């Protein structure tokens, strides 16, 4: 094989079809075809020169997968048990573990450790699309075929020596116009085992913010330590509604600018009004960053305007503050 | 020290020379070898790669009875590069010319916990 120096125009023109194909795979909510998933897994092991696994479990989602691991350790099946169940049917091992899980959950919640999968199945679409392109056009990357087939046919996958856990795909994936996971009313991603991911424009949010949006205390959003989540939460809750709910007052400045405004709001449970620098972020839209009454980097001079608030954020005295000429 | 721009919570200042006694601690690198200037739990790190060296200096400051570990990252950029955020819809790249830069994360005040801390995303 010679080195690929250049792509033909036809190959370049085909890239969008690979992109769309793999975005479709990544968002697919179709049913798991057990035989296809098993064959793909075995091929992936063989491609890596590893003896293919003999045993498979098929949880309904990532949470059940982790509970399966917990229960499997607890009920201590022998190798002979595994062999017997595998010979019985393709789902006998899954059914046995699930029955043990159901019985255990009758006595209380099953504790489990979060163990991330070795392979994210359909969610590995990004890099597998690259290999698919070269497999299709140049007949190379045969070694990735098993993983490509598995990604087309499975949710998340935990690969062990002789045992592989293959999750079903999610039952719902909703996205915004940019393709980010997004849903304002329910989980943007949901699995049949109850695993849910709430997301607003690609930012994961607490379930309560979505499901209790109409009744929740918006100061909970402002208490969030992650600024991306805070900004997404404000957008979800409704910017005007948030301002109205918290008795919003501009002390000085213009919140629709880069420098922003020093604002005060009433926060339930806090004796003093909360003071924030509200400014327009090119990425996140309106952002609220807390500021104290005085600037410790400025001999505790009172913060009375937006520039003084910016100086505090930058850990500088107001007199030394320079606003960034470019902000991204 | 001249402010040349900001990317999210990071403010970038051009400086004429490295200060004395900043040590030689390097920040962690990502899988591509770029220095991680601000770590994100979501994986949306602010990184800088290319022909660049970065030294991380942490100074403990006592502010109102609270001890704050204030980080400054010194980037020695030997060829033009970009401050980049590893997110699909991240902050746009901030281009940096050859030179020496001090990069500091913003802080904010949390009125609920009554404390100052670095901004996180």
- The ranges assigned to domains in chain A are 9-169, 170-245, 247-328
- If pLDDT is split at 50, 70 and 90, which confidence band does B96 have? very high
What distance in Å separates residue B25's CA from the closest CA in chain A? 22
**pLDDT at residue A272 in the model:** 84
Q: CA-CA distances (angstroms) from residue A69 to A89, A156, B121?
A: 20, 14, 32
Containing H/E element for A228? helix A227-237
**pLDDT at residue A268 in the model:** 76
Residues for chain A: how many in total? 328
- Do residue A227 and residue B12 have CB atoms under 8 angstroms apart? no
Q: How many CB atoms lie within 10 A of CB B88?
A: 11
| C-alpha to C-alpha distance for A98 and A100, rounded to whole angstroms | 5
**pLDDT at residue B120 in the model:** 79
ipTM of the complex: 0.94
- Do residue A314 and residue B11 have CB atoms under 8 angstroms apart? yes
Half-sphere exposure of A155 (CA within 13 A, CB side): 29
| C-alpha to C-alpha distance for B99 and B15, rounded to whole angstroms | 8
The model's pTM is: 0.77
**Is residue A154 a contact partner of residue A169, using CB atoms and an 8 Å limit?**
yes
Interface test with B, best of A292, A303, A321, A322 (most B CBs within 10 A): A292
- With an 8 Å Cβ cutoff, the interface of chain A facing chain B consists of 178, 180, 201-202, 204, 223, 225-228, 267, 270, 272, 274-275, 281-283, 289-292, 296, 312-315, 322-328
What distance in Å separates residue A65's CA from the closest CA in chain B? 22
Q: Is the pLDDT of residue B43 over 80?
A: no
**pLDDT at residue A114 in the model:** 85
Q: Which positions of chain A have pLDDT values less than 70?
A: 1
């Amino acid at each position: 094989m010679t080195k690929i120096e250049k792509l033909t125009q036809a190959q370049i023109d085909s890239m969008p079809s690979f992109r769309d194909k793999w975005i479709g795979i990544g968002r697919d909510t179709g049913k798991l075809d057990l035989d296809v998933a098993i064959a793909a897994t075995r091929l992936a092991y063989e491609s890596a020169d590893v003896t293919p696994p003999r045993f498979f479990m098929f949880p309904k989602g990532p949470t059940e997968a982790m509970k399966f691991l917990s229960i499997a350790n607890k009920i201590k099946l022998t190798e002979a048990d595994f062999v017997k169940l595998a010979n019985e049917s393709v789902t006998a091992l899954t059914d046995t573990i699930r029955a043990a899980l159901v019985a255990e959950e009758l006595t209380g919640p099953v504790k489990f450790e979060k163990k991330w999968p070795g392979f994210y199945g359909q969610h590995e679409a990004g890099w597998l699309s690259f290999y698919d392109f070269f497999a299709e056009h140049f007949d190379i990357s045969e070694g990735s075929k098993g993983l490509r087939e598995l990604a087309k046919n499975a949710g998340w996958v935990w690969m062990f020596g002789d045992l592989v856990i293959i999750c079903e795909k999610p039952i719902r994936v909703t996205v915004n116009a940019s393709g980010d996971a997004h849903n304002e009313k329910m989980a943007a991603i949901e699995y049949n085992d109850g695993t849910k991911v709430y997301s607003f424009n690609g930012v994961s949010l607490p379930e309560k913010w979505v499901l209790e949006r109409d009744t929740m205390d918006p100061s909970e959003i402002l208490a969030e330590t992650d600024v991306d989540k805070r900004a997404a939460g404000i957008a979800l809750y409704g910017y005007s509604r948030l301002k109205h709910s918290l008795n919003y007052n501009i002390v000085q400045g213009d919140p629709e600018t880069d420098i922003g405004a020093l604002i005060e709001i009433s926060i339930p449970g806090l004796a003093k009004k909360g003071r924030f620098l509200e400014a327009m972020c090119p990425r996140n839209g309106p952002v609220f960053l807390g500021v104290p009454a005085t600037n410790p980097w400025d001999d505790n001079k009172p913060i009375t305007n937006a520039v003084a608030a910016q100086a505090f954020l930058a850990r500088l005295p107001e007199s030394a503050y320079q606003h960034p000429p470019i902000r991204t | 020290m001249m402010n040349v721009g900001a990317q999210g919570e990071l403010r970038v200042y051009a400086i004429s020379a490295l200060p004395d006694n900043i040590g030689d601690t390097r920040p962690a690198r990502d899988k591509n070898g770029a220095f991680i200037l601000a770590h994100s739990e979501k994986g949306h790190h602010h990184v800088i790669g290319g022909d660049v060296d970065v030294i991380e200096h942490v100074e403990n400051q006592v502010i109102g009875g609270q001890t704050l570990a204030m980080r400054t990252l010194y980037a020695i950029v030997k060829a033009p590069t970009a401050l980049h955020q590893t997110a699909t819809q991240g902050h746009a790249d901030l281009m940096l010319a050859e030179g020496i830069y001090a990069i500091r994360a913003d802080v904010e005040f949390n009125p609920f916990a009554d404390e100052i801390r670095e901004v996180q995303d």
